[in-house]
Structures are given as C-alpha cells and as structure tokens.
Chains A and B, each alone.
Chain A
Amino acid sequence: MPDPKRARPQPTPETRHYWEGAKAGELRLQRCDACNHTYFPPRPFCPACASRAVSVFRASGRARLYSYVISHRPAPGFTPPYSIAVVELEEGPRMMTNIVGCPQTPEALVLDMPVEVAFPPLDDDISLPVFRPAGSAA
C-alpha cells in the first residue's frame, strides 16, 4: 500500500461512478445523449450543451502522452523523480495521471507515445487510474 500520507480523492455524488469504476478496473467517462459530446471530469450534465441527459460508459483505457513534468520535489507518498502527466484519451478528454512502468526520464517519456490505463489500489476504497506504456503490461 502506498504511503498513508498520500492525498486521497474524496468522491462526491457526482463522481462516485468514476471511482466505483476505477475500483472495478474500468475507466468510466460520460457522454451526452443529446449532442454526443464526451467529457471529463464527471458532472451530471453536458458542459457543451447543458443537457442533463448523459450516460456513463466504459472507456477503452487507451491514450497518448500529451504533456508532463518530472517532479524532483519531495511529495507525501511519492519518491522523486516521478512524472506528473496529462494524457489524451482515445475518446477525446484529457486527464492528469502518472506514467508508471518505465524510467522517469525524458528519454523514456516521449510525447504522443501510446499509453494504457492501470488501476493500482491506494487503499481498500480507492483505486487510482494511472497509465503505462502500451503493451508493457506484465
């Protein structure tokens, strides 16, 4: 288990489906039933057209590395250097994450490289979606 001092997300009624999905090994996004816009982070209405008719669906978990830094600063629960990245999901939205399963170096972390989601548990309740180079799964 990671460091107990590490920051933990606190789900709200609007985001619970996302965190339940992560615990079940699914990356869940939302799509507007009216205009078909796919969006993140979660909310019970479409940020493009304001429709309240939206659906949760399971995303592919495939993404590309969009941008990142390699933090050399001490942070609770992390061992520097570690990547703090933004990935662009195959379905369109971008999200923050860590890239794991490869050296935390500029040489190993190449912009636009394909990555795929993994769900390491933070504790009994929360699994945190992170990404690793595509095809690197053990």
Chain B
Amino acid sequence: MKPGAVAIVGAAETTELGVVPGMAEIQLHADAALNAMRDAGLKPSDIDGVATAVTQPQAIAHYLGITPTWVDGTSVGGCSFMLHVRHAAAAIESGLCRTVLITHGESGRSGIGLGRPQVLPASLAGQFELPYGTFGPPTMFTIPVLRYMKTYGLTEEHLANVAVIQREWAAQNPRATLRTPITVADVLNSKMIAWPFRLLMCCLVTDGGGALILTAADRAKDFPQRPVYLLGTGESVETPMISQMADFTSSRAFRVAGAKAFAEAGITHGDVDHLMIYDAFAHLPIYGLEDLGFVGRGEAGAFIAERHTAPGGKLPTNTNGGGLSYMHSGMYGMYALQESVRQVRGIAPAQVPDVEVSVCHGVGGMFAASGTIIMGRERP
C-alpha cells in the first residue's frame, strides 16, 4: 500500500458497551455500522465493500441493505479487523470498490445470537490440545509465559503492573468497564485463574461492537470528520495451536506483521506518539513492545514498570484501558483500532497531546495471527 493513499473517514463503537443483553450479535454489528455511517455522513447505498469476521459478510450486507462489489470474510480471531483494514486498503487502491465498511459485533458477555466457531474433535487442536483440559483462552494463551519468565527474569509483579497501569488509563475513560484504581497487591491477590495468571491479569468479557469506513484519501476531505490516513499495514499468522508456537518468548506473527507495517510506513519507532497493543492478557503488551521493536528482548517488563507506557510516559499505550479494563467482547481488535482513530482525531477521553502517528497492533487466536495498522494525522 502507498502510505496515505487510503483513509478512515468513519469510525464508531456501539452506542452501549459492556453488558448489552438487548441486542443479538448481528444487531451489535448494525448498531456500530449505523453509528459509523452517521459519523461519515453516509448511507448503506454509499457502501460498496463489506468486511467482517466470524459473522459472514453476506449476513452483514443483507442485514444493512448493502450491495457490495467486494467482500472480505477473513476470520483469524481478534485481529481480523486489522487484516480487513489492510485488505480494504488494497482493494480501494486497485479499484475493486470505493467505500468499505468493516464491522464487528459480539455478545461475548450476554451470549445473544452467537456465531462463535467451535474446536472440532478431529481438528489438530481437537486431537492434540483439547483433551488436556484446555478451556478457553485463559488456559492456552497463558502457557508460554513461564518460559518467558524463566528466560528473562520477568516477575509476577511485572505482569500485575501491566494491569495496574492500564487501569490508570481506564480511570480517565467514562466508557471503560472498570475504572477504580488498583495496586500490584490487588492484582496478585485477585482470584487465581491459571497460575501464574490472576483474574485481574485477564481481559474482561463484555458485549459490544465497532465499525470503520475507509475510502481513497483523495475523497477523504469531502467527509465531515478529520481523515485518519493509513501509513502502513502488516499481517501474518503462525499456528492455531499454542503448543506449536516456535518461540515461547516471542511471537513470529507479531514480528512479521510489525516489521511489514513499519517498513511500509517508512517510519521509525521514535516517530510513534501513541501505541495500542491488543491485551487479552497481561503478557501481551510485553510481547508486543518487544516484537514490534520498541524495546529489546526481555526489556518490556521493566519498561512498563518505569511508567513509559503510563499516563505522562513517553510511549502512551492502551490509552482506552485496554481489554483488561475498557472492554473485551472476544475479538478486541476493533476497539484498539477505534482508540487509535480517536487519538489521531484528537477526541479520545484520555487524549494524548499531538498524536501524529499511532500504531495499532492486534493478535488473533492464541498468538495464531497478527495485524498491525499504522495511522497518521497528515497525508505523507
């Protein structure tokens, strides 16, 4: 993608986030989509590209009354929306469509109208992982961490501190699910989920949705909101089985997606004013900071403890409170993208001053997939 060729011109979350028992998943998609179209001043008939994950794009197109000339149903977990942004940019640049709507809706807490895939007993994960009592992400995503801790001397306090600092951000955000300040001791004394992970090191489980609208940068100035330009994008996958991740201390998918996005954008780490790293669990920002190259291997725990990612720090990170404190419906990537858009537009509840460049990094499955999107305020 040519840096700055495509822009985000509409962005919104569902009207309500958190516990939304009055909406099925498809309506969470639609509620966010209608909000994003209002944000962009568009109607369904103005949209000619549709992308979504888990729910099929035809379901969204039909429900909203859209006749697309391009669809993308890439479904690789919570970073699917980062990949949709990347694919949509390529589609718009090559003329396959003009205006793309990317939607997410998930009734993760209330479970109304779920479309979630199951692990089948004849799949490789069904044969070689599930029989050992894996029971959702808290028992799988967490497995590599003890190896990381032994390799680099990361402590349980380092992990706890990730949650403490993100709660500081959440405290500034009226829409965050959890806003009460917490201490390292609070985190370490919270309910044990899967040692060494306590409850407060694990993401929320909530209901919500979000939607983005993308178009060519040449058209972007005609829309009501300040455009957010796409500077660089990257994606990759590694393995659907956490046990087969090649290096338990580093994600190959993170490294590949991140490097691709930085190279495409032509920026250095010093150019980054704001960072989002999908935090399903407290170790994700640690792996992300290292695999994206913001710090060296084994340095992220101390970097966070030194408050560099905290309010007032040099690299404000997960400024909405993250999956740990803001919201996490199951596929959090859309909310990370929304926060990057808000920060670049300058309208975030915990606004960082003068955000020119925001990096938004997502994970899918348990280190299975990754997508990195770099956004900018000015067209290069």
Interface set, chain A 58-87, CB cutoff 8 A to B: 66-75, 77-78, 81-82, 84-86
A11 in contact (CB, < 8 A)? yes
Residue of B nearest to A106 (CB): B195
B2 in contact (CB, < 8 A)? no
Q: Hey, what's the 0/1 contact readout for B129-145 against A, CB within 8 Å counting as 1?
A: 11111111011101111
Size of chain B's interface in residues, with CB distance under 8 A?
37
Q: How far is the CB of B254 from chain A (nearest CB, A)?
A: 18
Asked if A70 and B128 sit within 8 Å, CB to CB, the answer is: no
Give the residue among B122, B127, B191, B194 with the most A Cβ atoms within 10 A.
B127
B263 in contact (CB, < 8 A)? no
Known contacts A7-B121, A84-B133: does B128 contact A95 (CB below 8 Å)?
yes
Stretch at the interface among B172-180, B241-249, B300-308: B241-249
B150 in contact (CB, < 8 A)? yes
Q: How far is the CB of B378 from chain A (nearest CB, A)?
A: 44
Asked if A10 and B121 sit within 8 Å, CB to CB, the answer is: yes
Contacts of A112 in B (CB 8 A): 150
State which size class the interface on A falls in: 35 or more
Interface set, chain B 150-198, CB cutoff 8 A to A: 150, 191-197
B124 in contact (CB, < 8 A)? yes
Asked if B133 and A95 sit within 8 Å, CB to CB, the answer is: no
Residue of B nearest to A15 (CB): B127
B116 in contact (CB, < 8 A)? no
Contacts of B147 in A (CB 8 A): 66-67, 111
Known contacts A82-B133, A98-B132: does B127 contact A69 (CB below 8 Å)?
no
Question: In the complex, which of the residues A41, A67, A81, A96 contacts B146, with contact meaning CB atoms closer than 8 Å?
Answer: A67
Give Cα A23–Cα B243 distance, bound, in whole angstroms: 22
Asked if A71 and B194 sit within 8 Å, CB to CB, the answer is: yes
Asked if B122 and A10 sit within 8 Å, CB to CB, the answer is: yes
Give Cα A11–Cα B138 distance, bound, in whole angstroms: 26
Q: Hey, what's the 0/1 contact readout for B93-128 against A, CB within 8 Å counting as 1?
A: 000000000000000000000000000111010111
Asked if A71 and B128 sit within 8 Å, CB to CB, the answer is: no
Asked if B139 and A95 sit within 8 Å, CB to CB, the answer is: no
Give Cα A78–Cα B150 distance, bound, in whole angstroms: 27
Residue of A nearest to B134 (CB): A84
Q: Give chain B's interface secondary structure class.
A: mixed
Residue of B nearest to A73 (CB): B135
Give Cα A96–Cα B125 distance, bound, in whole angstroms: 10
Question: In the complex, which of the residues B121, B134, B138, B139 contacts A9, with contact meaning CB atoms closer than 8 Å?
Answer: B121
Give Cα A98–Cα B135 distance, bound, in whole angstroms: 13
Contacts of B241 in A (CB 8 A): 41, 96
Contacts of A52 in B (CB 8 A): none
Asked if B121 and A69 sit within 8 Å, CB to CB, the answer is: no
Asked if A86 and B143 sit within 8 Å, CB to CB, the answer is: yes
Give the residue among A74, A84, A106 with the most B Cβ atoms within 10 A.
A84
Known contacts A41-B241, A111-B150: does B127 contact A71 (CB below 8 Å)?
no
Asked if B124 and A41 sit within 8 Å, CB to CB, the answer is: yes
Asked if A8 and B131 sit within 8 Å, CB to CB, the answer is: yes
Give Cα A67–Cα B132 distance, bound, in whole angstroms: 14
Asked if B143 and A67 sit within 8 Å, CB to CB, the answer is: yes
Known contacts A73-B193, A77-B133, A84-B134: does B127 contact A11 (CB below 8 Å)?
yes
Query: Which 9 pairs, one residue from A and one from B, show the smallest C-beta to C-beta distance?
Result: A9-B127, A96-B243, A70-B195, A69-B194, A10-B122, A67-B147, A10-B121, A75-B135, A78-B133
Q: List 29 A-B contacts (CB under 8 A).
A: A7-B121, A8-B131, A10-B126, A41-B124, A41-B244, A66-B147, A67-B144, A67-B248, A68-B143, A69-B142, A69-B143, A69-B195, A69-B197, A70-B195, A71-B138, A72-B194, A78-B133, A82-B133, A84-B133, A84-B140, A85-B132, A96-B132, A96-B134, A96-B241, A98-B133, A111-B146, A111-B150, A126-B131, A128-B132
Besides A7-B130, A7-B133, A75-B135, 11 new A-B residue pairs in contact (Cβ under 8 A), listed by A number:
A6-B131, A7-B131, A40-B128, A70-B194, A70-B195, A72-B192, A84-B134, A94-B243, A95-B128, A96-B128, A96-B132
